[in-house]
């Protein structure tokens, strides 16, 4: 059910990364020269070589250009002087998509693969990306060399082109969302670095957080900003510094295509010491008033993307929410506030021929999955992971309901992304709706069925928890 599209099955990123290994790993000894390493790479026609030792190291063709030639080092330089050690690795059983995301996050193009703690091969960007022209790692390298946000003014267009390329290569919308979210994380980190370069070193540890679809790794094409800033010590000097940092980063995001959040959920408004955030989280759970529920639903999806301030205390407060039955009940009731667009006899309802996929389907699933995860004491952030928790725990929704929602959710995202990309190519406004006349009869049938399932699960939850009796 809910098979609205028939995308090509992805030929690369869904495979275990071990399936992409083409040869045994190439090693040289730690005493080898860069000339010997370059010769070994050329003979094997590879872009990297591992350096034997405990732990092993790695040197790549980029290292030869950037650390040897650019630094005007001689060819007799030892590889141990320019190698990277320890190496970043990935397990052989991990999906190739995870390897690509790790490459984006770490800005690397060669990734050693391990099996039972031993390096069994190396995958490269070329192994993962068969597309010609610009790809995720190209855009990542552009971000890394960014020295002014004004020079990335076409980021929104780059992201649109990249999403379109990945979509038509056969990647699912959720996979694309994870890749784009990783790129957005890298952009934020770079903007934070540039801001610190202008403002001077931070007076205390901090964490830049994102939430909403970005926090859940479910964002596709550019939407508005959802971010906040948390810092350890609440001195006056720290408040002034981080207010300036928040302003610079938010302005930089606006310059590259992320508009302001209409609700004001941005670091320029949500820039507070950790103690104040802890107080807020506690109050939202203990006093679940309408605004508190809205804030909790937004911020409890948070994820840190820059800075090094540990946020374990906030995670612990969220886990403890499982004991607050009134809070969970009110949050469950709020999840029923999103209404699938169905009328009498479950007929599809539309406005000007359009159906809002987010309000009618995506948002209620996200909300149901969130409250189910919180009720189980889980800190999973993505909707599918939360639904897996719901299926295992039986909290809020039962196993079969969780399974159905986990089937419907990716299909709705796929349909929404398809329509967004169509609008992007036609220079039309990008929103969350689909024109029913552009769907085939089969797709309309699947959409109606999906909305019907969501409505039924909402009705069951309303009756089981007696939510209509809540004030």
Residue percentage of the chain with pLDDT more than 70:
94
- H or E stretch at 315: helix 312-319
Q: Which two tokens stand for residue 25?
A: 């790993």
Q: What is the pLDDT of residue 7?
A: 37
Q: Which two tokens stand for residue 456?
A: 């039924």
Cβ contact 267:249 at 8 Å: yes
Q: Is the pLDDT of residue 385 over 50?
A: yes
Instruction: Give the separation between CA 408 and CA 454, rounded to whole angstroms.
Output: 9
Q: What pLDDT band is residue 366 in, cutting at 50, 70 and 90?
A: very high
Q: What is the pLDDT of residue 152?
A: 67
Q: Is the pLDDT of residue 5 over 50?
A: no
Cβ contact 348:444 at 8 Å: yes
Instruction: Give the separation between CA 314 and CA 279, rounded to whole angstroms.
Output: 10
Q: Which two tokens stand for residue 403?
A: 């399974």
Neighbours of 111 (CB within 10 A): 25
Range of weakest confidence among 12-16, 142-146, 228-232, 316-320? 12-16
* Length in residues, the chain: 471
List of residues 6+ apart from 250 with CB closer than 8 A: 225, 227, 260, 266, 267, 268
Mean pLDDT of the chain: 90
Q: Is the dihedral of CA 291, 230, 364, 392 positive or negative?
A: negative
Q: What is the pLDDT of residue 428?
A: 85
Q: Is the pLDDT of residue 301 over 60?
A: yes
């Amino acid at each position: 059910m809910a098979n609205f599209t028939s995308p090509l099955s992805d030929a690369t990123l869904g495979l275990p990364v071990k399936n992409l290994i083409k040869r045994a790993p190439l090693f040289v000894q730690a005493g080898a020269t860069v000339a010997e390493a370059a010769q070994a790479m050329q003979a094997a026609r590879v872009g990297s070589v591992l350096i034997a030792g405990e732990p092993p190291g790695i040197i790549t063709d980029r290292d030869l250009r950037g650390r040897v030639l650019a630094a005007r080092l001689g060819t007799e330089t030892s590889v141990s002087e320019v190698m990277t050690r320890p190496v970043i690795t990935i397990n052989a059983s991990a999906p190739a998509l995870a390897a690509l995301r790790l490459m984006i996050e770490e800005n690397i193009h060669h990734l050693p693969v391990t099996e039972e703690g031993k390096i069994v091969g190396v995958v490269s960007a070329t192994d993962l990306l068969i597309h010609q022209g610009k790809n995720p790692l190209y855009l990542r390298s552009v971000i890394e060399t960014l020295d002014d946000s004004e020079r990335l003014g076409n980021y929104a267009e780059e992201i649109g082109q990249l999403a379109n390329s990945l979509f038509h290569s056969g990647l699912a919308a959720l996979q694309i969302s994870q890749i784009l979210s990783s790129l957005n994380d890298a952009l934020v980190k770079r903007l934070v670095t540039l801001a610190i370069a202008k403002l001077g070193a931070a007076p205390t540890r901090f964490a830049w957080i994102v939430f909403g679809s970005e926090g859940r790794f479910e964002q596709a094409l550019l939407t508005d900003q959802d971010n906040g800033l948390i810092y350890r010590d609440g001195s006056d000097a720290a408040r002034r510094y981080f207010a300036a940092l928040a302003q610079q980063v938010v302005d930089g995001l606006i310059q590259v295509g992320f508009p302001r959040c209409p609700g004001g959920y941005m670091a320029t408004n949500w820039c507070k010491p950790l103690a104040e955030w802890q107080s807020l989280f506690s109050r939202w759970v203990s006093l679940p008033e309408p605004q508190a529920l809205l804030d909790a639903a937004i911020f409890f999806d948070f994820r840190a993307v820059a800075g090094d301030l540990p946020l374990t205390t906030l995670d612990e407060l969220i886990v403890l929410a499982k004991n607050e039955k009134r809070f969970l009940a009110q949050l469950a009731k709020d999840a029923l506030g999103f209404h699938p667009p169905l009328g009498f006899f479950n007929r599809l309802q539309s406005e000007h021929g359009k159906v809002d996929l987010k309000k009618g389907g995506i948002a209620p699933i996200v909300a149901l999955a969130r409250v189910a995860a919180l009720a189980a004491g889980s800190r999973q952030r993505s909707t599918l992971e939360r639904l897996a928790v719901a299926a295992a725990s039986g909290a809020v929704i039962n196993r079969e309901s969780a399974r159905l929602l986990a089937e419907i959710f990716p299909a709705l995202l796929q349909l929404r992304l398809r329509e967004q990309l169509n609008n992007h190519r036609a220079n039309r406004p990008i929103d969350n709706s689909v024109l029913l006349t552009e769907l085939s009869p089969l797709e309309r049938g699947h959409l109606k069925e999906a909305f019907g399932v969501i409505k039924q699960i909402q009705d069951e939850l309303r009756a089981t928890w007696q939510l209509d009796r809540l004030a």
